[in-house]
Amino acid sequence: IGIASYADSKQATVICTNGIILPSLIDAHNHVDWNILPKWKPGKYYQDRYEWRSDSAYKTFKKPYDNLGKTLKCEMIKWSETRALISGTTSIFGTSNLSCSRNIIRNLENGNAANHIQKDNIETKLDIETMSNTQAQSVSQGLTNESISAFVVHIGEGINESSRAEFDTLDSKGAFQKNTAIIHGTGGTAKEFCKMANRHSKLIWSPQSKIALYGDTTKVMIAKNLGVPIAIAPDWTPSGSINMLTEIKCLDFLNQTYYAKSFTDQNLVEMMTINPAIAMNVHDKIGQIKRGLEADILVINGDRSFPFRTIVESDTTQIQLVLLSGKGLFGELSLMERFALNDFCEAI
């Protein structure tokens, strides 16, 4: 890996890894500060997110989050970001508190110089039903004139008719457009996914979390066959996966067991790299190893004869190096020593 600008490549630091080099992972949907919580086992399935969010069992489960969040919000975020980093993730979407002095990895909702992508116009909405007419008009106009680069919205998180109807609500508010990224979309049918394809909207999918909560997941084969770009993301630890590498194994199981291996190994890797960058409309900055883009790079140890399969099957023990904008943030000591950051790093 040469870490230098193209013009200065003769002065680059050369690091021989003998590993598989790929873009670092992009988590397009998470609730970062909630990831201090363990797995929640409700013991039953729900119809939609409003049902489990009002369940007394869930309210009891999340009390530690409520208590810790009063004074330790930034520590909760840093803990979760660190866990994401050591699993190869350098960009994440879903940090509810951006007042911490400095995040460890790039937060896609906080577009500023520290993020190196200079975008602060990604809008998000958790509950579309609570979106006021004023907000809807602003988002609709922003998407149309591209002053808003992406609108990321939770839609259809459930298996009932009201979940499907949220697609209609999104459309009626004028926010169902090209740069709309729909998180979950579990209640969507062929009609909704056809509309997504026609309008070039994107899908961000968290299979593990939806199966745990609803006993079912998004009809991704319909979305895939219609050409809807699909990104994969963990959601959060209570019902989802601990990191991106764990989440992709859920999809790999579904793909081999239920989807007739319709997704190739390369498809699976792209759902963790370039596809989430496309969904966030930051693919001109991250998601690929390409001249002019940020040097967000992940190196994984394993069988280089089958690189995509090796990546899908890998775990955190195989990660050799993680770079954010060309700077080594995590990796094996022998590789990290090549970066002039020793005073800022610690062995773990």
Q: Which amino acid would we find at residue 215?
A: G
Please give the full DSSP string across 89-143, using - where no structure is assigned.
Answer: EEEES--S---SS--SSEETTS-SGGGTS----EEEES-GGG--HHHHHHHHHHH
Q: Which amino acid would we find at residue 255?
A: N
pLDDT (tens place) for every residue of the chain, 348 residues total: 444 445 556 667 777 888 999 999 999 999 999 999 999 999 999 999 999 999 999 999 999 999 999 999 989 999 999 999 999 999 999 886 666 756 788 888 765 445 556 555 787 777 888 888 888 899 999 999 988 889 999 999 999 999 999 999 999 999 999 999 999 999 999 999 999 999 999 999 999 999 999 999 999 999 999 999 999 999 999 999 999 999 999 999 999 999 999 999 999 999 999 999 999 999 999 999 999 999 999 999 999 999 999 999 999 999 999 999 988 899 998 888 877 655 567 777
Q: Which two tokens stand for residue 53?
A: 């969010």
251-279 burial, b at 16+ Cβ within 10 Å, e below that, comes to bbebbeeeeeeebebeebbbbbbbbbbbb
Based on DSSP, count helices (H) and strands (E) in the chain, helices before strands. 14, 14
Residue 7 has, within 13 A of its CA and on its CB side, a CA count of: 0
Angstrom distances, CA of residue 172 to CA of 133, 165, 177, 320, 326? 10, 11, 11, 48, 43
CB atoms within 10 A of CB 53: 12
Please give the model's pTM, rounded to 2 decimal places: 0.93
Contact by Cβ (8 Å): 188, 165:
no
Give CA–CA dist 115/325, Å, rounded.
9
Give CA–CA dist 282/123, Å, rounded.
13
Best CA proximity match to 203, nearest among 189, 218, 182, 179: 182
